[in-house]
């Protein structure tokens, strides 16, 4: 016997969990929502770092102002804000050139330009809220074995260890990551651009306080971001490092001793925050731009990294996914109120149309900025310098830059869509 659901979300990471919570708030009380995750979702323990799932690893995420608005609407911001760090200024520079930009929240009328939250904390809050929301059913660990289209929805067969389960959904959302097995199973192709680089991720601490400033430094080998984190209990000044490098260099820096790594990093970043005091465990992730060739089909939506996995240079991947979530939830709410099926292709194409411009601009910016700053041509380098100086000196340019970086253009009036 099949269990029937209105919405089945496959993937219980930050995107899938956020979508489930957003849908539970916007859809009717009788709408049945199921979240399926292949890793065991932890019980609520009240402790940070509760989850060993790769969905909530040791990395940190930069949340834009638009993401804050979305989480405020979900009622999660008071909890999240207990352990996140504001970004009050952003310093952008081009190594070896005079061009630089200093963006300040106070000049843009915002409380902060962004917020840095550790994935473990964000994950804990999301899981805690999911378990408190009785309208959302959780199935974990479970994997999708097969999906078969039918009139009015899809039939799914799930594996739960030694057992299987049959269920049906009016709408299935694929949110199981950049290398989505379900996306591939459904025959949805991707456009991929291999950057031939990897991101080296680590938590670091400095002699001096970061002063709530984020640093984005473009170098010939790739961009380096140093994002502010809350100070540790012992008073050490922590930051999150995201360092993009050619893969052979990343492999070497991951294997070398901490002393050697500190020496190389200090030379590249300089002494803006004094001497490096400590480096945590180093992780490496290969970087590619991955875009699904289809984001919607009848009774199907692809979201998050399964839909578009971006270079981390501008920190916009998860923020774009949250805006996708906000708009999809609003479109589905409208459909439900007008008695249209949630999985109707017309409804889903309406969502895709609303988000097309935001996605195109965000993906294009993240992709092209790598190309521009990696260019060794001196004419291009001079143009970069002029561009950074212009943004720094012309208030209206700076305001527009912050407006788009904060996700305000893409968010729009989503609650009234």
Structure confidence at residue 390 (pLDDT): 40
- 308 DSSP assignment: E
Rounded mean pLDDT for each run of 10 residues along the chain, 417 residues in total:
90 97 96 96 58 56 93 96 93 68 79 91 93 93 96 96 95 97 96 93 95 88 90 92 93 94 94 94 93 98 97 85 97 97 97 94 78 46 41 48 54 51
Structure confidence at residue 110 (pLDDT): 80
**Residue 75: which region, alpha, beta or left (left: phi > 0; alpha: psi -120 to 50)?**
left
CATH superfamily entry for domain 3-86+114-192+288-374: FAD/NAD(P)-binding domain (3.50.50.60)
CB-CB neighbours of 117 under 10 Å:
23
The DSSP result for 295-314, as a single string, is SEETTEEE-GGGTEE--GGG
Measuring CA to CA, how many Å separate 396 from each of 391, 400, 410?
A: 8, 6, 19
Structure confidence at residue 93 (pLDDT): 80
Task: State the residue for tokens 């999985």.
Answer: 343
User: How far is Cα 221 from Cα 211, in angstroms, rounded to an integer?
Assistant: 27
Is-contact 206 279, C-beta < 8 A? no
Q: Helix, strand, or coil here: 252?
A: helix
User: How far is Cα 189 from Cα 231, in angstroms, rounded to an integer?
Assistant: 44
Task: State the residue for tokens 């950049």.
Answer: 178
Nearest Cα residue to 343 out of 296, 302, 297, 299: 299
Nearest Cα residue to 140 out of 44, 55, 57, 36: 36
pTM for this entry: 0.89
Structure confidence at residue 69 (pLDDT): 94
Q: How many helices (H) and strands (E) does the chain have?
A: 12, 20
The burial class, CB within 10 Å (0-12 / 13-18 / 19+), for 399 is middle
């Amino acid at each position: 016997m099949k269990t029937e659901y209105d919405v089945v979300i496959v993937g219980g990471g930050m995107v899938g969990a956020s979508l489930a919570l957003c849908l539970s708030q916007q859809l009717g009380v009788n709408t049945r929502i199921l979240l399926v995750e292949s890793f065991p979702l932890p019980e609520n323990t009240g402790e940070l770092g509760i989850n060993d799932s790769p969905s909530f690893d040791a990395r940190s995420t930069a949340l834009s102002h638009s993401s804050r608005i979305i989480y405020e609407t979900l009622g999660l911001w008071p909890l999240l804000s207990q352990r996140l760090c504001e970004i009050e200024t952003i310093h952008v520079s081009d190594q070896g050139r005079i061009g630089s930009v200093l963006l300040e929240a106070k000049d843009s009328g915002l409380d902060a330009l962004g917020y840095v939250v550790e994935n473990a904390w964000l994950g804990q809050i999301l899981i805690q809220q999911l378990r408190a929301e009785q309208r959302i059913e959780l199935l974990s660990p479970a994997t999708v074995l097969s999906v078969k289209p039918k009139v009015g929805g899809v039939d799914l067969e799930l594996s739960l260890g030694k057992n299987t389960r049959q269920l049906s959904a009016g709408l299935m959302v694929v949110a199981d990551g950049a290398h989505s097995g379900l996306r591939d199973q459904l025959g949805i192709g991707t456009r991929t651009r291999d950057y031939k680089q990897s991101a080296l991720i680590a938590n670091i601490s400095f002699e001096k306080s970061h002063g709530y400033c984020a640093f984005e430094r473009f170098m010939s080998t790739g961009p380096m971001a140093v994002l502010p984190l809350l100070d540790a209990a012992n008073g050490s000044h922590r930051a999150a490092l995201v360092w993009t490098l050619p893969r052979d260099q990343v492999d070497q820096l991951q294997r070398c001793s901490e002393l050697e790594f500190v020496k190389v990093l200090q030379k590249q970043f300089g002494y803006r925050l004094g001497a490096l005091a400590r480096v945590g465990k180093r992780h490496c992730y290969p970087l590619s731009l991955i875009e699904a060739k289809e984001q919607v089909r009848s009774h199907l939506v692809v979201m998050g990294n399964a839909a578009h996995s971006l270079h981390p240079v501008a920190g916009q991947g998860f923020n774009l996914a949250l805006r996708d979530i906000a708009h999809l939830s609003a479109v589905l709410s409208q459909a439900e109120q007008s008695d249209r099926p949630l999985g109707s292709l017309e409804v889903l194409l309406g969502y895709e149309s609303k988000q097309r411009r935001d996605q195109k601009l965000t993906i294009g910016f993240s992709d092209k900025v790598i190309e521009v700053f990696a260019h060794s041509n001196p004419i291009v380098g001079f143009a970069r310098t002029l561009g950074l100086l212009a943004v720094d000196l012309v208030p209206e340019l700076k305001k527009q830059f912050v407006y788009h970086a904060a996700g305000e253009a893409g968010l729009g009036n989503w609650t009234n869509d």
